Copies of this chain bind each other. A is one copy, B any other.
């Protein structure tokens, strides 16, 4: 008898930077070990658990590479450098064939000598005004699209036929004469020429801009040139909804995560204002948005940035208090659980407070859906989850495991 396969929905809850190492301030425990988490533990007790190297064993992941992995794209194969993902991270999502660059708003003199690579760390709203003046640049049939990021940062996409990412930076990474871009291969000469022409055009358009006149009057360095670096092609990846035949959405507060998910073809959901992407974010409000999104979608990736911020700040006590609020959020998911749902609790990487930065330590993972095996793991922590039957997996394994539990896998063979 073959029972009718009912397809379940999948929710992956990524508690950003959650993994940690022993903290002196916590008597050698990790923040997860030191915090009482009855709701997360409930999922661990009733589900299957393990540890996960989101990219690979001993590889220290960025937020971009780890999220790609968790979405089932091996970054060792598809990651084409920071350019495209930083661009996507500030909302500039390109398509196959586009070449993306990270840029700085910089200061130069009339002879194009760079005098300040960060234009006095100019920020919004000035950069937003300046970007407007760069709209519609087109050089030899190639469109240039610019968007401002945080502080002096911006992103550039070149779009058109015959482009190549094999060009050097139009940025000397130091003050001094403007460094022109060159093609690393003959096919890239055209792109380098377009890029250099673009840089000159930004100076033409920005040097007498009202924002810069005002800045000069205030004794601030004008942001009168844009310097692109880190060329990268948008990766040629099959979109997530097509690859896994699921309608998919992303619920995240942070630009880069929204960007990665956008590049992978997930719909990015607008959030209430109290979902800030910071430590003060309202996790319950975000969880409500997730459950609402799940009504219309087969798959949701949820990212909560707060624990990562605590790790970068090196503040284990703050991380413990964030974890306590994350556990309340897990309680919300428990109380509002849909039986037609597979839920995953994990992190994109560890951000040990003692390091103040990411590490390659594997992260805990618990997967729960009604009617599955229970294993012996009983505590959601770096060591507790390691007791479970998932063992040690890579990030790219998460989706295949969930698809099977969701009744969405086809048999290989007979």
Contacts and interface: CB of A to CB of B under 8 A. Distances in A.
A362 B389 contact: yes
A383 interface: yes
A392 to B, nearest CB: 3
17 contacts: A3-B354, A5-B355, A5-B357, A22-B372, A51-B389, A57-B401, A58-B404, A60-B412, A61-B412, A65-B412, A79-B412, A82-B413, A85-B413, A354-B371, A360-B404, A374-B383, A391-B391
B414 A256 contact: yes
A116 interface: no
Interface in A260-319: 312-314
Contact of A75 (B374, B383, B412): B412
Contact of A387 (B376, B393, B407): B376
A386 B391 contact: yes
B3 A371 contact: no
Interface string A375-411: 1100000110011111111000101110110010111
A371 B22 contact: yes
A359 interface: yes
A28 B60 contact: no
A391 B388 contact: no
A223 interface: no
Contact of A65 (B22, B79, B413): B413
A50 B65 CA distance: 26
Contacts of A50: 391
B358 A411 contact: yes
B314 A3 contact: yes
A219 to B, nearest CB: 32
A342 to B, nearest CB: 12
Interface of A: 1-3, 5, 20-22, 24, 28, 30, 33, 50-51, 55-66, 75, 79, 82, 85-86, 256, 312-314, 354-362, 371-376, 382-383, 386-393, 397, 399-401, 403-404, 407, 409-414
A64 B404 contact: no
Nearest to A388: B386
B412 A22 contact: no
Contact of A414 (B2, B63, B397, B411): B63
Nearest to A390: B392
Contacts of A312: 1-2
A354 B1 CA distance: 11
Contacts of A392: 390-393
Given A371-B21, A388-B386, A85 B414 contact: yes
Indicate the member of A24, A82, A393, A404 with the most B CB atoms within 10 Å: A404
Nearest to A59: B412
Nearest to A28: B374
A414 B82 contact: yes
Given A5-B357, A59-B409, 15 more contacts: A2-B357, A20-B373, A24-B371, A51-B391, A57-B397, A57-B401, A58-B399, A59-B400, A63-B414, A64-B413, A85-B413, A360-B400, A360-B401, A374-B383, A376-B383
A366 B372 CA distance: 22
Given A21-B372, A312-B1, A404-B361, A57 B393 contact: yes
B373 A414 contact: no
Of A33, A50, A356, A374, the most chain B CB neighbours within 10 A belong to A374
A407 B66 CA distance: 19
Contacts of A75: 412-413
Given A3-B314, A389-B383, A400 B355 contact: no
A394 to B, nearest CB: 8
Contacts of A407: 355
B382 A61 contact: no
A79 B22 contact: no
A61 B411 contact: yes
Contacts of A362: 389
A386 to B, nearest CB: 4
